Amino acid sequence: MDQPALLEMKEISKEFPGVKALDKVSLTVKPGTVHALMGENGAGKSTLMKCLFGIYHKDGGTIHLEGKEVDFKSAKEALEHGVAMVHQELNQALTRSVQDNLWLGRYPKVGGVMVSERIMRQRTKEIFEQLEVHVNPNAIMSTMPVSQRQMVEIAKAVSYDAKIIVFDEPTSSLTETEVEHLFRIIDMLRSKGCGIIYISHKMEEILHISDEVTIMRDGTWVATRPAKELTMEEIIKLMVGRELTNRFPPKTNQPGEVILDVQHISGRYTRLKDASFQLHKGEILGIAGLDGSGRTEVLENLFGTMTREGGTITLHGKPIRNKTPQEAIKNGFALLTEERRATGIFGIRDILDNTVISSLKDYLIGGICLSDKLMQKKTDWSIQAMRIKTPSQKTQIRSLSGGNQQKVIIGRWLLTKPEVLLLDEPTRGIDVGAKYEIYQLILDLANEGKGVIMVSSEMPELLGVCDRILVMSGGQLAGEVDASNTSQEEILTLAAKYV
């Protein structure tokens, strides 16, 4: 006999101006199971969950929780009824402590008036011990790496004692060890009868952790299958509506002479102690390492967003300083940052503004006025080249899916015609079809003679796209490997060298 459903979403529809985001999508989650939700960027996964969570008001359909019809008008109402969500884009009070973020809006009080620090501290300790989360409750959020902030957000969702927990790309900022930890937490929740909705583009994770998989495409339901009956190839075909035989495009670039020579760079007030390497014309150079190894700091040092303590940078044989991002852009550098929401997009501005912001000088007429026609033309090029799903150029970028936001930022930097493109987690939160397109764009840049430096937490990505891989450990360069003649084991061994 089938288990009664914990959650039933039937024929949910949602429209935004110019686009039908959801068209009669249904989803059923049973107690004590993990139900994966998959689809390309813009397929409607996050929109469906926001309709459940009360962030969006659905235009049609019904939602039943434990057999009772619900229609939450706010996230607060959803949480009070036992539905919690760990969002892909972290939205935290960065100047407050971990403990404050955990209990924000629901501080435990004595006599209904005074906030009790003692009760708050005790409950925080109990939750962290239960989940084996090793984070200082008094630490200020802004001082912590993204992975630890993500674990705090997961602990917060669990603290609501929720019946349904939605995880939206929960491992995008986590190391392999932290992913295993998250899976232990999910198994614990599953054993308590909790229903988990798990959104991810990482198919290995989906097949490992899920009981059932629902696949969406262009705002519609495509299929729901038991995870054990699916293969990666079948999931990809259902997601994109076609066969995708290769995860990575064939490597056609031919690295040439050295264009960038970096010697002994170190950062002030950061983990980066010493890094020396060279980048060749037409080369894709990967940077691997554990969280906190100094990978991101290398890119920030080169781009001038970090104060350099020491070291030299030489481009085409000429010493450069890159003390500020403006100077770096002038010298032909571009940086795609790790956290697109915090440091990549201008959320309240439209796609046109977000696309042309770094190359405004190219659209000046007579050195005075900006040409709307030229900016629109270049934005059109970016939308077409990056296959950005958007109703128009005037759509606010924050209304796009995370993957489409990432494509807008990549298009922005391509318009600056960079000599050296610095990419920090370029495919984080992006579906398999769009990943291939971005890999092809990176390869095209290398074929044009540009140099690309790419940080990634995904080992198969580094091995499939890069020519060489630098491995960082404890703020130092632990080694360098040939991507075509190495293994994940060798890279992980180097990554642990100075830990």
**What pLDDT digit, counting tens, does each position of 129-170 carry?**
988 888 899 999 988 887 788 888 888 888 888 899 999 888
Question: Is the pLDDT confidence value at 111 over 80?
Answer: no
Cα–Cα distance, 492 to 248 (Å, whole number): 22
- The CA distances from residue 54 to 12, 84, 116, 143, 325, in Å, are 13, 11, 30, 31, 40
CA distance linking residue 457 with residue 425, whole number of Å = 7
Q: How many C-beta neighbours within 10 Å does residue 17 have?
A: 9
Helix (H) or strand (E) holding 16: strand 7-16
Report which of 491, 314, 333, 355 is spatially closest to residue 423, judged by C-alpha positions.
333
For residue 457, give the nearest of 469, 449, 443, 474 by alpha carbon.
469
Strand-strand pairing, 284-289 and 468-473? parallel
Model-level pTM? 0.68
E strands of 316-457, at which residues?
318-320, 333-336, 364-365, 369-370, 420-424, 451-455
pLDDT category at 244 given cuts 50, 70, 90 is: low
Is the Cα torsion angle 355, 359, 364, 370 positive or negative in sign? positive
For residue 179, the model assigns a pLDDT of 86
pLDDT bucket at 1, cuts 50 / 70 / 90: very low
Among 217-226, 320-329, 429-438, the range scoring the smallest mean pLDDT is 429-438
- State whether residue 294 is helix, strand or coil: coil
Number of Cβ atoms within 10 Å of the Cβ of 117 = 11
Question: Quick one: what percent of the chain has pLDDT higher than 90?
Answer: 55
Strands 195-199 and 34-38: parallel
Q: Give the integer Cα–Cα distance in Å for 226 and 310.
A: 55
pLDDT at 175: 74
